[in-house]
């Protein structure tokens, strides 16, 4: 387990702020050990809470060009057929994964290939399970073309807490299956749009692990 680079600045600044607040509190209440010890305890617990947001587990990726891996840790909240209207403009199977604040927030490539489409959309911050969050919230749309020509599209979607989406790809980039492509601070949602002949291997309510859980099998 390591700390993700997105957390370096946040954690450093937070450490300085908490140290300053505790120093001020100790100066104001020099003879109150109960208040001092309570402040230290609350500061440590709060810091550990923020620290876990940026954890980055290390594990090996089992690559398979017939498998679609989960792009994020979380829980499956949507499995349905829908029309993808932005880029593919065709009927697809949608699988959506909700990332809570306690999940790992690293986003990983579901399949290997080259990025055929990318677009960032500023937007609202509706709760991630809101029906309109996929089209109205801040989000990215990313499509990857596999070596066999099949395209998989996925979206990082901000939620009420997640107000900072990070991505590390651009059109033309080539990435391996399971490779990190982005990060959503403090959780949110990732939508996958798969071919209609893909066999979905998860069900609503299943817990996923990014880069490890098999979401679907491609024909």
Catalytic site residues? 188
C-alpha distance from residue 46 to each of 40, 49, 103, 127 (Å): 10, 5, 16, 23
What is the C-alpha to C-alpha distance for residues 97 and 75, in angstroms, rounded to an integer? 5
């Amino acid at each position: 387990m390591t700390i993700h680079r997105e957390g370096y600045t946040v954690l450093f600044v937070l450490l300085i702020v908490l140290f300053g607040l505790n120093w001020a509190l100790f100066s104001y209440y020099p003879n109150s050990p109960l208040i001092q010890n309570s402040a230290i305890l609350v500061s440590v617990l709060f810091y550990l809470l923020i620290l876990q947001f940026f954890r980055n587990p290390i594990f090996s990726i089992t690559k398979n060009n017939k498998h679609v891996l989960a792009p994020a840790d979380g829980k499956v909240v949507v499995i349905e057929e829908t029309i993808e209207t932005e880029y593919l403009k065709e009927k697809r199977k949608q699988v959506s994964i909700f990332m809570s604040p306690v999940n790992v927030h690293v986003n990983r490539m579901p399949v290997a290939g080259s990025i055929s489409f990318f677009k960032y959309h500023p937007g609202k911050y509706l709760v991630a399970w809101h029906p309109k969050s996929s089209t109205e919230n801040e989000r990215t749309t990313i499509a990857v073309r596999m070596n066999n020509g099949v395209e998989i599209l996925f979206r990082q979607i901000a939620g009420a807490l997640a107000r900072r989406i990070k991505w590390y790809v651009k059109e033309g980039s080539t990435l391996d299956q399971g490779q990190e492509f982005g990060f959503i601070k403090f959780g949110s949602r990732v939508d996958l749009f798969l071919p209609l002949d893909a066999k979905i291997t998860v069900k609503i309510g299943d817990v996923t692990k990014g880069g490890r859980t098999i979401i679907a099998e491609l024909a």
